[in-house]
Amino acid sequence: MRVATPAARETPPFRWETVDAPRTVTLPPGLSATDAHSGREVVTNRVRRWVARGWLGLRTAWAVCGVTLALLVALEAAYRIQSGVRKGVASATRPTVPHPYTPQQWWPAYQGELQASFATQWEPYVYWRRQPQVGRYVNVDSAGHRRTAQGVARGGAVRRVFFFGGSTMWGTGARDEMTIPSQVAARLAERGVGDVAITNFGETGYVFTQSLLELEFELRRGSLAPAATARGPGLERRRFRPPRRYSGTRCRGHLRFHR
């Protein structure tokens, strides 16, 4: 009779393990290890609450911004819709009023020349000037100045007069011979004044600063201008004196600003 014997167990190989010696932690007087652990938990929980509150505030702010933007878009859309409806109703019920110059024979040709004159070119400091144009009613020279209908002075000294301003001075809606500078030249010719050369520096959309820059450029070029006149909205009459750096020129007189 055989008796079963248990199998021999394998003995694991022997190995050395190095165990770090426990570190000694010094706690403040009156504070136990339990209290220190509880303090860390309090700080951790407080940080978590701050992060949660910050995230909630960010979400709330984002939601408020989104709702505000949507409201502004809705208001803008509503305004544009009602504006379009009002303009459509007004244009349908408003009678068509013809331009006062419509009966004139020259008006259709003038409109075409005026539209063609809106082509501009870059001009330093003042930004734009009209391109040269030759027509029957609207003429612009190579310097971008509107033509002034005036007689040519023959012999002797010539007194130069500069006109500055915006579209009113340039002569929008008027033929060359009907602009303000041309009318001044015609009045002077009626009085026998023929030694005056008038230059129209007016340009559509020009403001006071651009006109003043144009005058300064002419003074730098050595132009002699005994008188200069400007017309535009909000301009007052002022005495004009050339800057000291131009004191050597013979530019004297006054610059009048007409409202």
What are the pLDDT tens digits along the chain (259 aa)? Answer: 555 555 555 555 555 555 555 666 565 665 555 655 566 777 788 888 888 888 988 999 999 999 999 999 999 999 999 998 988 888 777 777 888 999 999 999 999 999 999 999 999 999 999 999 999 999 999 999 999 999 876 667 788 889 999 999 999 999 999 999 999 999 999 998 888 899 999 999 999 999 999 988 888 887 665 555 555 554 444 444 555 554 444 444 444 444 4
> What pLDDT is attached to residue 227?
55
Q: How many residues does the chain have?
A: 259
> Which of 160, 158, 226, 149 is CA-nearest to residue 186?
149
CA dist 127 and 201 (Å) reads: 14
> What pLDDT is attached to residue 258?
46
Q: Which residue(s) pair with 121 in the sheet?
A: 129
Please return the burial class of 18, using the count of CB atoms within 10 Å of its CB with bins 0-12, 13-18 and 19+: exposed
> What pLDDT is attached to residue 253?
41
Reading phi first (left if > 0) and then psi (alpha if -120 to 50, else beta), residue 3 is in: beta
- H helical segments located in the chain: 33-93, 107-116, 167-170, 180-190, 208-220
Q: Are strands 227-231 and 255-258 parallel, antiparallel or unpaired?
A: parallel
> What pLDDT is attached to residue 131?
96
